[in-house]
Amino acid sequence: MLLGKYKISPRVLRVGAKQTISVEGLDEVTKIYDDVDYEISVTRTDGWKYKEGINFLQRGRDLTSTQICRAENGVLSFTYDFDYECEYEIKVARTEGDTHFPERQEKFWSGKKSRATRGFTFRVYAVCDDLYEKRPYKCDLHIHTDESDGNESPKLVGATYRQYGYDAICITDHYTMLGSKMAIEAFEDIDAGLKIFQGEEVHPFYGSIVHVVNFNGKTSVNDLYYSDTKKAEKEIEALADGFDFPDEVDRKELAYFKWCFDKIRESGGIAIYPHSLWSVFGAYNVRTEISEYIIKNKMCDAYEIFGGMSKRDNRLSVELLAEMKRNGIDLPIIASSDAHSIAGHGSAHFDDTFSIVFAKDKEQIPNAVLEGNTIVVENFDTSDKIAHGNFRLVRYAYFLLDQYFGEHDLLCNALGTALIGLDPGDSGQKEMVAKLNKIVTDYENEFFGNNRI
C-alpha cells in the first residue's frame, strides 16, 4: 500500500517508449528532499539473460539498472526505457550525505549504530501498446435483485457493488430486464463512476432448465418469448428438427439454448452461457455433453466459467475449458457471482468471483468481452485471489490485484458507502458522491497515466 505515503505516477508504462515516473512523498517521514542524491534502481522481474562470467548469485546485477537523480520541489522524476512487458521493481534510496531526519526521529536514532533504511521500493508494470491503451475494470455481469428472487432492491445492489470496488455491473433478473432498468435509472444523474448495463436471465419454458444471460441487450428476450409463446415454440421446434445436432444430445434442450443465444444477439446483447456445472438438487444444471456441444460450436458469445457455483464446480469448469482449449476452441470467459444477496462478501456468492475486463473505457466493456479481453478471479479468500485465463493477461492481473485494486477498492468503499441511502433530491449529498468519485478517478489516472498512444 502506497496510498498516503507516496504519490507515484504512472505505475503502468508503455514498452518501447521512454517513460518518466514521478515520485512525491506525502508524509513528513516520506518527504523527498531537493538537496539529496537519490539512487534509483530498476529491476526487471522477468528473469535474467545468460551472460559469460555472471553466475546465479550475481544475476541481480544484470537485471538492474541504476541512476542518480535529484528532486525538484519535492518531486523526484526519472526516465527509463522499458523494453519488455513484465513487472519491474524500483528501489529509491538516499545516497550518503543525507542529513534530513525529522527532529523526533533524530532523538530516537542518536547514538545508535544502525539507522532506519532510508530507501523504499515500489512496483510498476510495462505493457505493449494494445494493453497500454486499455484499463482494467472489475465487473460482475450476472446479478439478481428483488425484481426476481434476489433479496435487495436494484438501487441498493448498485450502490453496494460500487462500495466493493466494482466499475461495471449487469443486473440480470430471472424473466425480466426491469431490475437492470431500475438500477440504471436510480444512478442516471449521479456521478458515481459505476457503469450499469441492461440485462436479464432468459428462461424459455422447459422446466426452467435453460438459463442464458442476456448482457447489454436492448430488448428483453423473455418478453419476446412470453408475449408470443406459440410463435417462439414453433421457432424452437423448427430449430430442433432442422439443426444438425448429434444424436446423443437432447435436441429440444439444445434448440432452446440456440434460440436464446440467437435472440439475445438480435436484441443487441451478448449471449453468456452461465453456470453449466452448477450442482442443483444434487445434479448438474446441464448435461456436460450439451455444454461441450455449445462450447465446441461457439454457440454462445462467452462462457461463464464461474457463476454462483461451489469451489469444486468452479475448478471443474476451469478444467472443462482447458480441455476445450487443447482441442483448439477458444471462447471468451466471464466470472460472475450470480449473487442473490449483497449482504457482504461471501454471502450468497456475492463478490466470490468476478471478471476483470480490459477495455479502452467502460462503454467498450461489451466489445472487450466479445474480443476475449477478460480474465476471471476467484475471490473466496480475499487475501489470496486466484486468477485464470490468458497467461499474459493473468500475469498483468496479478500485478493489478496486488498493486492497484486494493487501493482502488478502498477508495470506492468510501464512495459506495456515501451512495447507499443517498437521497437523489439532496444536491449536497450528490456533490459529496461526485467528489468521492473524483478521488477514485484521480487515483486511476495517476496509476495508468494518460494511457493513450
Look up residue 158 and give its three cell numbers.
448498485
Question: Which residue, 256 or 447, is less far from Zn ion as judged by CB?
Answer: 256
Distance CA 94, CA 350 (A): 45
Q: Which residues touch 269 (CB under 8 Å, ≥6 apart)?
A: 199, 214, 215, 216, 217, 218, 221
Please report how close the Cβ of residue 142 comes to Zn ion at its closest, in angstroms: 6
Enter the DSSP assignment of 33.
P
- Choices 85-93, 147-155, 225-233, 333-341 (CB under 5 A): range interacting with Zn ion: 333-341
Residue with grid cell 465446441, as numbered in its chain: 296
Question: Which residue, 282 or 428, is less far from Zn ion as judged by CB?
Answer: 282
Please report how close the Cβ of residue 173 comes to Zn ion at its closest, in angstroms: 8
Single-letter code of the amino acid located at 346:
G
- Choices 40-48, 209-217, 287-295, 374-382 (CB under 5 A): range interacting with Zn ion: 209-217
Coil, strand or helix: which one is 28?
coil
Helix 251-266 / helix 229-242 crossing angle, nearest 10 deg: 120
Please, which of residues 371-410 interact with Zn ion by CB under 5 A?
none
Please report how close the Cβ of residue 365 comes to Zn ion at its closest, in angstroms: 19
Question: Which residue, 85 or 338, is less far from Zn ion as judged by CB?
Answer: 338
The CA radius of gyration of the chain, in Å to the nearest whole number, is: 26
Question: Which residue, 85 or 201, is less far from Zn ion as judged by CB?
Answer: 201
Question: Which residue, 90 or 320, is less far from Zn ion as judged by CB?
Answer: 320
Please report how close the Cβ of residue 218 comes to Zn ion at its closest, in angstroms: 20
- Choices 55-63, 67-75, 118-126, 207-215 (CB under 5 A): range interacting with Zn ion: 207-215
Please report how close the Cβ of residue 228 comes to Zn ion at its closest, in angstroms: 24
**211 is a site residue for Zn ion (CB under 5 A):** yes
Distance CA 250, CA 319 (A): 24
Residue with grid cell 439454448, as numbered in its chain: 257
Whether the CA torsion 303, 331, 329, 378 is positive or negative: it is: negative
C-alpha torsion angle, residues 372, 353, 339, 211 (rounded to 10) = 40
- Choices 118-126, 191-199, 203-211, 286-294 (CB under 5 A): range interacting with Zn ion: 203-211
Please report how close the Cβ of residue 109 comes to Zn ion at its closest, in angstroms: 59
Q: How many residues bind to Zn ion according to rule CB under 5 A?
A: 3
Per CB under 5 A, the list member of 152, 200, 313, 338 interacting with Zn ion is 338
Coil, strand or helix: which one is 3?
coil
Residue closest to Zn ion when measured from CB atoms:
211
- Choices 66-74, 93-101, 194-202, 391-399 (CB under 5 A): range interacting with Zn ion: 194-202
Please report how close the Cβ of residue 416 comes to Zn ion at its closest, in angstroms: 22
Question: Which residue, 169 or 436, is less far from Zn ion as judged by CB?
Answer: 169
Smallest CA-to-CA distance from 448 within 161, 135, 165 is with 135
Enter the DSSP assignment of 339.
B
Please report how close the Cβ of residue 143 comes to Zn ion at its closest, in angstroms: 8
Please report how close the Cβ of residue 174 comes to Zn ion at its closest, in angstroms: 7
Please report how close the Cβ of residue 201 comes to Zn ion at its closest, in angstroms: 5
Question: Which residue, 211 or 258, is less far from Zn ion as judged by CB?
Answer: 211
Enter the DSSP assignment of 86.
E
- Choices 24-32, 71-79, 129-137, 195-203 (CB under 5 A): range interacting with Zn ion: 195-203
Distance CA 250, CA 377 (A): 32
Distance CA 392, CA 385 (A): 17
- Choices 4-12, 200-208, 297-305, 444-452 (CB under 5 A): range interacting with Zn ion: 200-208
- Choices 44-52, 97-105, 193-201, 369-377 (CB under 5 A): range interacting with Zn ion: 193-201
Question: Which residue, 152 or 338, is less far from Zn ion as judged by CB?
Answer: 338
Distance CA 125, CA 88 (A): 6
As separate numbers, helices (DSSP H) first and strands (DSSP E) second, the chain gives 14, 21
- Residue 248 burial class via C-beta count within 10 angstroms: exposed 0-12, middle 13-18, buried 19 and up: exposed
Please report how close the Cβ of residue 164 comes to Zn ion at its closest, in angstroms: 18
Q: Which helix (H) or strand (E) holds 355?
A: strand 353-359
C-alpha torsion angle, residues 301, 367, 136, 312 (rounded to 10) = -10
Kindly give the pairing relationship between strand 168-171 and strand 135-143: parallel
Please report how close the Cβ of residue 202 comes to Zn ion at its closest, in angstroms: 10
**304 is a site residue for Zn ion (CB under 5 A):** no
Question: Which residue, 280 or 439, is less far from Zn ion as judged by CB?
Answer: 280
Question: Which residue, 50 or 281, is less far from Zn ion as judged by CB?
Answer: 281
Question: Which residue, 148 or 153, is less far from Zn ion as judged by CB?
Answer: 148
Single-letter code of the amino acid located at 405:
F
Chain-centroid distance, C-alpha 110: 48
Question: Which residue, 92 or 254, is less far from Zn ion as judged by CB?
Answer: 254
Q: What does the binding site for Zn ion look like in residue numbers (CB under 5 A)?
A: 201, 211, 338
